[in-house]
Structure 1
Amino acid sequence: MFLRGRNLVVFVAFLLLGMFASSILTLTIVRPSSLASGESGVSNGSTAKPGEFTAAELKKLSTAYHLIQDNYLTQIDRGKLIDGAVNGMLDALNDPYSTYMDPKEAGQFQDVLNSTFQGIGAEVSLEDGRVKVVSPIKGSPAEKAGILPNDLILSVNGEKLDGLTLTEAVSKIRGPKGSQAKLGIMRSGMDSIEVIVVRDDIPVETIYSEMLEGQIGKIEIREYVSHTAQKFKEALKQLEDQGMKGLVIDVRSNPGGLFPAVIEMSEPFVPQGKPIVQVEDRDGQKQSTLSVKGTGKKYPVAVLINNGSASASEIMAGALQQMGGAKLVGEKTYGKGTVQVTFDKELGDGSNIKMTIMKWLTPNGDWIHKKGIAPDIAVEQPAYFKVAPLSKKTVLRLDMTGDDVKNLQTMLVGIGQAPGRTDGYFNEQTVTAVKAFQRLNNLPVTGEVDEKTAVKLEEAVSKEIRNPKNDLQLKSAVNYVSGAAAK
């Protein structure tokens, strides 16, 4: 989440840099005067007023600067050194959500707000010096390629990302529609793999609604941007006018968004006067955002969540669970419970600093940061929903072992073939299953998995994942809502 000055503005941070859809949230909270003043100065003594440098501190910074300028092997651009000093201070916070953007990056950060973006469609953060995926956007190239929350992106097109700032890493991954990004991915419990993502337009259309069997409504929220609240209101009214008996709200793999949007969308489900969310500053002072017009809903509500549900999604899930009587279905959420403010005027050169200044809490006062929100009804998707893409480095054949074979077997199970085992040993039954798949797809029937077979297999698995009939979490949510509505 971020605050931008005194106003609520969503910044789709990494998407704004042309590749990632980030949804870092903003809150309508007036910045403390100490933050807004931007005062600075020099003290002639050994001590300084709060916010000022001592003479000794200024001398240390100046000395380091001149040592570099006068003695380093090559000439260094002055601006680059200053930017590096600011970056260094923010890096010292050890906070993946506090970053510095130079004027060019800051301009990109703002220019593409509320537009259609080109990229891979995933939010990332920088943790322990590595680029970590928060969540791929539903329907994005990243999701289709099999990128998952918590994946580490180690390299792009063979170029390592170690030692880069987040914005530098983003600039390596960004690129025009139709171009390929070969990502080196590290996933827990697996060897590193290469995933090819074809960049594309990432639209900002965020609401998808439909009426399911049994008059159960479903609204999918992919992000919370400027128009999302109105679209949600329209979709909700349409479903209610059609005689909806219960509602499923899907915020899976939704990385968050604009704070006013999530408040407006949550309010109808939270009775008047009850809290939707709280924020807490570094002094422990708390402030609640209360429901002003909410009445609650008479019909049952379920909220679908997973470990890609972050920030604003978690605010909505927490509010509806704790104050709206909804049940959370699926998997534990990501766990982003901090608030950032962007200082876009204070530096005076078009650059800005995005810095964590607060944390947000659920209505009951829970801080979910790095913990997430647990579902009331825990449901995991089938194994093939999270299977890694095949590396395609070698042809897979009889008697081979390893993660690639294990993933192959998991995929075969997902598309209805029977490899006989899923432990990573390529046995005769796996050969038979591969041949059956090849026959069905007019491929050479070899029983071996070359690149063409691997690509076809991944496409078949993606099709199965997108089929609602295979969505165990959605089925569970619908069953709950249907059962509650019938009581």
Structure 2
Amino acid sequence: MSDHYPEPGPSKTPTARRIPWGGVSIATAIVLVCLLLTPTLVAQAVDGKTQSLLSLFQFIYLYVQNNYVDPVDPEKLIDGALKGLFESLEDPHSAYLAETDMRSLNDTTAGEFGGVGLYINKQAPPEGSKETASFVEVVSPIEGTPAYRMGIQSGDLIVKIDGESTEKLSIDEVVKRLRGQPGTTVTVTIRRGANLQFDVPLTRAVIQVPTVRYGMIPGAIGYIRIIQFTPYTDDKVQEAIESFRASGYKSLVIDLRMNPGGLLTSVIETADLFFDEGVIVSTRSRIPAENALYEAKPGSLVPADIPIAVLIDGGSASASEIFAGVMKDRKRATLFGTKTYGKGSVQQVRSLGRTGFRLTTARYYTPSGVTIDKIGVSPDREVKEPTLSEKETEALSKLISSRQIPAFVTQNPNPSEGQIQQFVDKLRKESPDLSDRILKRMIRNEINRHLPNPPVYDLEYDLVLQEAVKFLREGAKGR
């Protein structure tokens, strides 16, 4: 779930063996198949136990309506009961959508809206845990949006919105608080790691989702960053590869970090560029019509002897996990980074007129038959950023809260190396526990977030990319 849903658009039909059911696509990991619930569907047969429980519900409903001390709105009672029904599934992706929620969803899929540019999720507390609620987790920020420019990261927890705790808010309630008119502000309190907590003021804006950026890394290495899978992603990836081919590329890096997913058709078409046969992904469901096997078409754009490194992290979700999964399962690429998010389920949204509901109906499986949902895809070579010490965390929290680095970049949008070093020396006097590397990377990231066309990659500070490039330059030994 997120505060942004990409607008569905036209795309080519992938090769699939399945019972015909119409186009299947995911937008922000949600299949928006808005179907009218028909009387036939409502009238499906129920067994004796279910009929008995429905009779019990009817008895309690009528008793409350007729005997509660104050008059009760029947619609309010039913809304509450339906909300509870979906909450009992303990699935953050399934929910009853009241009239305001449906209106919000329709507004989102219809076009532009004001938001902060975050893909978010909320997991139920672990089974057996004493906790009864949990905070909202950032799956990934959308590049170029307010949240991205303010430095919010994958894995951050949103613990408050305008001072209100998110612990007991539903995912839809959080989304409603984050969205609003462009130009208005909202303050989120972020918890990063165990102890780092700070406020981030965000000015809402019209959210537009980019798709692909690419460039050449010295050593004839093509670099493609897939920001999200949209109807145009496979065309942009093809454009990048043809550009690399003209430059004589010898290997390839595909960066899926902080990619929250997108359209199912898009990721299938993009993966198809790297295979000429075989399974890309499958879906399995209790509904026969939703069982599908998607396969590559004959002919691949990238030669089989081109070594590929795929970069992943906890912000890689849904469609990006499908891509990473097939590249790993079929040994077409070596994966670097950390385990992906683990969002591999399919949702349908059904309209009931003014209200509706969203329900998980299927899960995605990699070619080897492994589910992505709640598990994720593990890298072949794990590469993590260094863990901060307690003193570093405390110093970093104070520095972020002080807003000194954004102020410096605002005053010096294109600082020289000398200006940066002078500023770093000043910060180190105030925060001796923070290294030059940490401070310089924070300054570099802050500068890049405000550039209209930031660098495509950062080989100086990006440890995961460094390891992947080293691997490819050594000839991908051990593949």
TM-score (norm 1): 0.73
Q: 1:57: how far off?
A: 3.6
1:329 counterpart SS class: strand
Corresponding residue for residue 206 of structure 2: 201
Instruction: Quickly say closer, same or farther: Cα 1:314–1:27, change in 2 above 3 A.
Output: farther
SS across alignment from 1:127: coil
Q: CA deviation at 1:341?
A: 2.0
**Counterpart-to-counterpart distance in 2, 1:267 and 1:339:** 21
Contact kept in structure 1, 2:196 and 2:397, CA below 8 Å: no
The TM-score, its normalising length taken from structure 2, stands at 0.74
Does the 8 A contact of 2:113 with 2:181 survive in 1?
no
The residue number in structure 2 matching 1:237 is 242
From 41, 46, 54, the equivalent of 1:39 is 41
State the shift of 1:303 in Å: 0.9
Report how far residue 237 of structure 1 moved: 2.3
Q: Is 1:483 the counterpart of 2:474 in the alignment?
A: yes
- In structure 1, what is the equivalent of residue 307 of structure 2? 300
Matches within 5 A, 1:298-377: 298-323=305-330, 325-344=332-351, 347=352, 349-377=353-381
Match of 1:123 in 2: 119
The residue aligned with 2:108 is 112
Alignment correspondent of 1:15: none
Which residue is equivalent to 2:159? 154
Q: CA offsets, 1:176-219, max 9 Å, x none?
A: 33433222334442265433333333322211111222221111
Q: Does the C-alpha gap of structure 1 residues 50 and 250 become closer, same or farther in structure 2, counting only changes over 3 Å? A: farther
- Answering whether residue 87 of structure 2 is matched by residue 97 of structure 1, we say no
- Does the residue aligned with 1:280 lie in a helix, a strand or coil? strand
Q: Once the 2 structures are TM-superposed, how far is the Cα of residue 292 of structure 1 from its aligned partner?
A: 1.6
* SS of corresponding position for 1:484: coil
Find the partner of 1:474 among 450, 465, 468: 465
Displacement of 1:84: 2.0
CA distance in 1, matches of 2:73, 2:425: 59
2:13 corresponding residue in structure 1:
none
Q: Supply the distance in 2 between the matched residues of 1:93 and 1:381 (Cα, whole angstroms).
A: 36
* Unaligned residue ranges in structure 2 (runs of 5+): 9-20, 125-132, 406-418, 433-438, 450-454
Identity of aligned residues (%): 32
The letter of the residue matching 1:101 is L
> CA shift at 1:171, angstroms?
0.9
Q: 1:310 Cα shift?
A: 0.7
Residues 403 and 214 of structure 1: is their aligned pair in 2 closer, same or farther, counting only changes over 3 Å? closer
Per the TM alignment, residue 99 of structure 1 is displaced from its structure 2 partner at its CA by 1.6
Matches within 5 A, 1:222-301: 222-272=227-277, 274-282=278-286, 287-295=292-300, 297=303, 298-301=305-308
Q: Which amino acid aligns with 1:97?
A: H
Encode CA deviations 1:112-148: one digit per residue, 9 max, x unaligned.
3384543221211232343232222234332343433
Asked if 1:381 is matched to 2:364, the reply is no
- Structure 1: which 5+ residue stretches go unaligned? 12-22, 43-47, 389-400, 416-435, 450-455
User: Equivalent residue for 1:7?
Assistant: 23
Partner of 1:432: none
**Cα distance between partner residues in 1 of 2:381 and 2:441:** 30
Residues 231, 448 of structure 1: alpha-carbon distance in 2 compared, 3 angstrom cutoff? closer
Contact 2:287 2:361 in 1 (8 A): no
Deviation larger for 277-286 or 195-204: 277-286
Deviation at 1:82, TM superposition (A): 2.3
Displacement of 1:481 after TM fit?
2.5
> In 2, distance between residues paired with 1:37 and 1:212?
59
Residue 185 in structure 1 maps to residue 190 in structure 2: yes
Cα pair 1:98 1:353 within 8 Å, conserved: yes
SS at 2:371 equivalent: coil
| Amino acid aligned to 1:8 | V
1:438/1:408 CA distance change after superposition, 3 Å: farther
Question: 2:39 and 2:235 mapped to 1: Cα distance?
Answer: 35
Q: Which amino acid in 1 is paired with 2:119? A: E
CA contact (8 A) 2:471 2:477 kept: no
One-letter amino acid matched to 1:255: P
Q: Where does residue 397 of structure 1 map in the other structure?
A: none
Check the 8 A contact 1:25/1:311 in 2, yes or no.
Answer: no
Partners of 2:217 and 2:140 lie apart in 1 by 27
Does the C-alpha gap of structure 1 residues 221 and 118 become closer, same or farther in structure 2, counting only changes over 3 Å? farther
Amino acid in structure 2 at the alignment position of 1:7: G
For residues 188 and 444 of structure 1, the distance between their equivalents in structure 2, rounded to whole angstroms, comes to 22
Q: 1:428 corresponds to which residue?
A: none
Q: 1:365 to 1:122 in 2, by over 3 A?
A: same
**Bigger Cα displacement from structure 2, 79-88 vs 437-446:** 437-446
Q: What is the match of residue 85 of structure 1? A: 81
Q: Secondary structure at the match of 1:163?
A: coil
Moved more, 401-410 or 356-365: 401-410
Aligned length: 418
Partner SS state of residue 283, structure 2: strand
